[in-house]
Structure 1
Amino acid sequence: MPLFAYKGRNVRGELMEGVLEAADSGAVADQLFGTGVTPLVIAPTKRSASNAGAGQSWWTSLTEKSVTPMDVQLFSRQMHTLLKAGVPIMRGLAGLQESAISPAFGRILKDLRDSLDSGRELSAAMRRHPDIFSNFYLSMVRVGEMTGRLEDVFLRLFDHLEFDRDMRDRVKTALRYPGFVVAAMVMAMAIVNIFVIPQFTKVFASFHAQLPLMTRILIGFSDFTVAWWPVMLVLSIGSMLAARSWVQTVAGRYSWDRNKLRLPIAGKIILKGTMARFARSFALSSKSGVPIVQALTVVSQTVDNAYLAARIEQMRDGVERGETILRTGTTAGVFTPVVLQMIAVGEETGSLDDLMDEIALMYEREVDYELRTLSSQIEPILITFLGFMVLVLALGIFLPIWDLGKAALHP
């Protein structure tokens, strides 16, 4: 996404400036208002949002290990422990910087300390490093700052990052076997098209006979690929770059986030995981006494999905008009009937925050079940695909063998 340089003033009237990454200037303004900064100037820029690596040689920058998600996860756990023990945040960051295993992350911590020294809030300091701290991470830290429960937020973030890493590992494990099978079949198709079928062409040509239709189709596809592969490569790269640029626009991001929720298998996992984030952060805000309208504004930034964020903002607008959470949630159309029933009970009993925690647990259990059964869900699709590939290979290879005898007897 593009970078924007900004200048603004915080609630104490102090001048704040920096660089943020966002889809457009309006998104930058929303981020600044969410962190308590009133923007004065927002302009596009090409300079990096962080100077944490300034002064390094190009060889050090090239060979140094970059910051990993595990570094951020460990940082979250350490911050929870330090804040819970009553250690001042500046002293805690100084200790983490000295003990940091990763030099790159140590420089990030130094930049956070410098930003806090200059009067910035922690979320605003972290926002200078969008490639390290995600929008969800920043929004959760902002919730912790607003509620005064930053240590609880860091524990939530640690649990979330651990769950997210476990989810990614499970998906990779489930896709490893199908990936190997599909790669082997594609390789077999390439070998047959390039080396096997052309031999049939020579034999049948010596008998002045015509190859079967499926074999001719495979040969034609092979010849087309060999002749036009540079054009196909350029078109593929151009299509990927165009799609990436489109997704970075506001309309493209909204459309992509909406459509990926409709994917056959991954869509429901993404939806349930995202709604678990929403429920967790909303419960935390509600328990801390944040007004519902303000909580929905901040929580909408934690879902990391433009389509669902728009639905949550629609709920916020409905609450501002005096509607209930149940009515706005029904209108949003992203909650299941069971969740809506739990929201209704929470509003009637005044324990909406506890019910939101239950909703988050329910979604997390469903995501865990979906991941455990992911392999069994992929198997029917894989078997169908392999059956089609085997059929094509059988018709393309065995039909010429069956017709070879007839061609030899009737040259």
Structure 2
Amino acid sequence: MGAAYEYRAWDQDGKIICGRIEAVSFEDAVEQLRRQDLIIVKISRARQPVLDLFTRKVRVKELAVFCRQFAIMSGAGLSLPHCLRILMGQVKDPQLKRITEEAVISLERGESITEAFSANSEQLPPLLINMLMAAEESGSLDQTLERLADSFEKDAVLKEKIKSALAYPLLVTVGALLSVIVLLVYVVPVFVDVFDQTGAALPAATQILIAISTLLRQHWLVLLILLFLIVVLLKFAQRTEKYRLLLDLIWLQLPGFGSVATGVIISRFAHTLSLLLKSGIPLLESLSVVEKTIGNSIAAQELSASSSLIQKGERFAHTLNGSRIFPAMVTGMLAIGDEAGELEQILDKIAHYYEQDVEQSIVRLASLMEPLLITGVGLLVGFIALSIYMPLFGLSGTLQ
């Protein structure tokens, strides 16, 4: 059975055209376009719109291992197609395996390493594509791959630390929700039968509890569908600039979480920009890449404005004055580094400082969340217990 492929290509008149074709394989799709005398700029497998919302990028942990092994083999003198064929047999992630397979085909057609991976730029970080482009120009592919591996490893370690710190609070939350659902679905109905038999007037709290229990038992499928629709709407919202800005602003202003998010943004900004500048990529191009990888639309907006001001002749550090993301300490350090010609070193120091700050903030946040969650669970269970026993106490008094 064939699959759909979307493409962008040059026609014989030198015009860019976009289209969609059906083919039994990636190679077949390429061959079909070649028979039409088209020069392929980009081709990738088409996805359904809703499914595309849930398509993830390749994990940085997988990319770190991939780049490290690629660097070793490239440094040993193996040809690029040979390196990638070996990696195809070692890569576990099916998405990365497919990308590697397509890259081998592209390289064998005579395309550059950048062009080979650019065909799947939606699943790969812009940092990888731009660093490969810089490596081609400088002739230092193995060194660039080592730097990329270090960068992806650092990013993966930070994500693991965040997950580890928040694992217990998340486990408590999930456990509490499951316990409450069990009480509402299985325990409360037993008492509802007792209350119905007595015919006694029920307190408002008990009536609310019974209404929630009835809703869960009788309309659980509707609730699941609504939950799914909310997730889909949020995914769509993330792709709309207006709503993405709103969601990111809310996230940055959340107590506790906002400071962690800001620290992650600044750390990623400093580390990525330093890496790009060390690879010989000019400041404006580097900022454009950072803008795409920063992970927050507000920060991306500020970096875009910064690039515009730099083009008008302003100093880099001055363009970030008054930022909602980057504090005065960061802009001050950038100004010093810019004037001294040591911007990369200053960026490394900023990245290191905020990496440590994020780790400490995560520990503080986790320690704060635990008692709050326990208190919240206690209040919720207490409300359920009180709502059940209040009518029983009233019934006991009536019988006496």
TM-score by length of 2: 0.77
Match for residue 26 of structure 1? none
What are structure 1's unaligned runs of at least 5 residues?
Answer: 10-14, 16-38, 55-66
Q: Conserved in 1, the CA contact under 8 Å of 2:126 and 2:289?
A: no
Q: Conserved in 2, the CA contact under 8 Å of 1:140 and 1:153?
A: yes
Match for residue 90 of structure 2? 100
Q: Conserved in 2, the CA contact under 8 Å of 1:147 and 1:285?
A: no
- Residue 324 of structure 2 is aligned with which of 322, 333, 336? 333
CA distance in 2, matches of 1:254, 1:178: 28
1:193 partner amino acid:
L
Deviation digits for residues 84-120 of structure 1 (CA, Å, limit 9, x no counterpart)? 45555445334444x5354955554342233234343
1:43 partner amino acid:
C
CA distance in 2, matches of 1:154, 1:163: 14
What RMSD over aligned residues (CA atoms) do the two structures have, in Å? 3.5
CA distance in 2, matches of 1:372, 1:47: 51
User: Does residue 306 of the first structure (1) align with residue 283 of the second (2)?
Assistant: no
Change in Cα spacing, 1:152 to 1:255, as seen in structure 2 (3 Å) is farther
CA distance in 2, matches of 1:107, 1:382: 43
Change in Cα spacing, 1:260 to 1:42, as seen in structure 2 (3 Å) is farther
1:113 partner amino acid:
V
1:6 partner amino acid:
R
User: Does residue 360 of the first structure (1) align with residue 360 of the second (2)?
Assistant: no
What are structure 2's unaligned runs of at least 5 residues?
Answer: 30-57
1:79 partner amino acid:
F
Match for residue 5 of structure 1? 7
User: Does residue 408 of the first structure (1) align with residue 399 of the second (2)?
Assistant: yes
Match for residue 70 of structure 2? 79
Q: How far 1:128 sits from its partner (Å)?
A: 1.9
User: Does residue 163 of the first structure (1) align with residue 154 of the second (2)?
Assistant: yes
Q: How far 1:321 sits from its partner (Å)?
A: 0.6
CA distance in 2, matches of 1:191, 1:149: 60
Deviation digits for residues 41-100 of structure 1 (CA, Å, limit 9, x no counterpart)? 25364879x93899xxxxxxxxxxxx8755432111112334445555445334444x53
SS of the residue aligned with 2:321?
Answer: helix
| 1:169-184 alignment, distance < 5 Å | 169-184=160-175
SS of the residue aligned with 2:18?
Answer: strand
Q: Conserved in 1, the CA contact under 8 Å of 2:127 and 2:289?
A: no
CA distance in 2, matches of 1:127, 1:212: 64
Alignment identity in percent? Answer: 28
User: Does residue 315 of the first structure (1) align with residue 306 of the second (2)?
Assistant: yes
CA distance in 2, matches of 1:278, 1:103: 27
User: Does residue 41 of the first structure (1) align with residue 21 of the second (2)?
Assistant: no
- Residue 228 of structure 2 is aligned with which of 222, 237, 243? 237
Q: Conserved in 1, the CA contact under 8 Å of 2:291 and 2:300?
A: yes
Change in Cα spacing, 1:182 to 1:259, as seen in structure 2 (3 Å) is closer
TM-score by length of 1: 0.75
1:338 partner amino acid:
M
SS of the residue aligned with 2:119?
Answer: coil
Q: Conserved in 2, the CA contact under 8 Å of 1:283 and 1:357?
A: yes
